[in-house]
């Protein structure tokens, strides 16, 4: 979940933002950011825009890679996320942060060498318009790196599979498109990009451990689903308690999809 989220129904208020930051400091997300940075292939002096900068962890890592001659700009629609990102940005190299949406990026045309956005476009109602806006702010041959989740790929053990199915279906309500990766390459091509790389980025948590991504996700899901898809608050609490009780038998797997494209 990127910081641009909120468009699809999940509000990144201070509590959710803090929980999201905790999830993004787990080893799962450290490895995900490493994979994203490899795909970014940043060089000293690069000008980079992070769309949905969230808690600013990736932005801080990118700032080290582009160095003092580079530029890192982050935008987000969540004031709570930006507040967290500002505390992180103030402790390291200069990072420019601004409240803004991908639908109206507050920068001139051809301002950036690279645009990156992780787990954000799945929350966007108008993906075509967002990709057009990204294309506008990229220099010719500039790169865009996007990472999004197909929520049909989730495999999550439960002692009640029917309840798990109801909860996961209800949780899809927080997204504009829970299956965006299936159409993202086509959307990029229609917005004037040439696809250069695609890969799957899997998450796997076995054995319950509260220091994993999926353990943090349990709170996010159980807080969101009551009132969606007929799921009650009692049912959501029972679902969460069941998962935490599985101990060594706990199992969670999810696929994210990374795409890299070049602006024509």
> What CATH number is attached to the domain comprising 25?
3.40.50.150
Sorting pLDDT into bands at 50, 70 and 90, what band is 88? confident
Sorting pLDDT into bands at 50, 70 and 90, what band is 12? low
- Look at residue 8 and tell me if it is in a domain: no
Number of domains in the chain: 1
Q: Closest by alpha carbon to 118, among 18, 256, 14?
A: 256
- Look at residue 56 and tell me if it is in a domain: yes
At residue 90, the pLDDT reads 61
Asked whether residue 75 carries a pLDDT value surpassing 90, the answer given is yes
Q: Closest by alpha carbon to 199, among 131, 262, 255, 141?
A: 255
> In this predicted model, what pLDDT tens digit does every residue of 145-197 receive, in sequence order?
999 999 999 999 999 999 999 999 999 999 999 999 999 999 999 999 999 99
> H-helix or E-strand containing 224?
helix 213-224
pTM for this entry: 0.92
Q: What domain range is 56 assigned to?
A: 14-149+176-202+256-263
At residue 14, the pLDDT reads 72
At residue 23, the pLDDT reads 86
At residue 94, the pLDDT reads 75
3-state class (DSSP) for residue 1: coil
Mean pLDDT comparison of 2-6, 15-19, 137-141, highest-scoring range? 137-141
- Look at residue 1 and tell me if it is in a domain: no
Asked whether residue 1 carries a pLDDT value surpassing 60, the answer given is no
Give the mean pLDDT of 18-47. 93
- Look at residue 234 and tell me if it is in a domain: no
């Amino acid at each position: 979940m990127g910081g641009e989220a909120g468009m699809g129904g999940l509000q990144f208020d201070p509590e959710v933002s803090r929980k999201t930051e905790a999830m993004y400091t787990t080893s799962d997300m450290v490895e995900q950011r490493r994979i994203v940075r490899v795909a970014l292939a940043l060089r000293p002096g690069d000008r980079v825009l992070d769309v949905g900068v969230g808690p600013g962890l990736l932005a801080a890592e990118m700032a080290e890679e582009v160095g003092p001659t580079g530029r890192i700009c982050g935008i987000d629609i969540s004031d709570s996320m930006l507040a967290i990102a500002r505390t992180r940005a103030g402790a390291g190299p200069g990072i420019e942060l601004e409240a803004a949406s991908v639908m109206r990026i507050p920068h001139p045309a051809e301002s950036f060498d690279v645009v990156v956005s992780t787990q954000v476009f799945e929350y966007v109602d108008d993906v075509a318009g967002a990709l057009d806006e990204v294309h506008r702010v990229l220099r010719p041959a500039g790169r865009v790196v996007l990472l999004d989740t197909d929520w049909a790929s989730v495999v999550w053990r439960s002692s009640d599979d029917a309840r798990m199915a109801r909860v996961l279906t209800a949780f899809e309500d927080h997204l504009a498109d829970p299956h965006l990766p299936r159409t993202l390459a086509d959307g990029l091509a229609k917005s004037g990009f040439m696809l250069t790389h695609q890969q799957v980025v899997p998450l796997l948590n076995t054995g319950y451990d509260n220091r994993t991504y999926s353990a943090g996700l349990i709170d996010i899901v159980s807080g969101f689903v009551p009132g969606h898809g007929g799921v009650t608050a009692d049912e959501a609490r029972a679902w969460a308690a069941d998962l935490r009780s599985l101990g060594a038998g706990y199992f969670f797997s999810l696929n994210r999809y990374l795409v890299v494209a070049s602006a024509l």
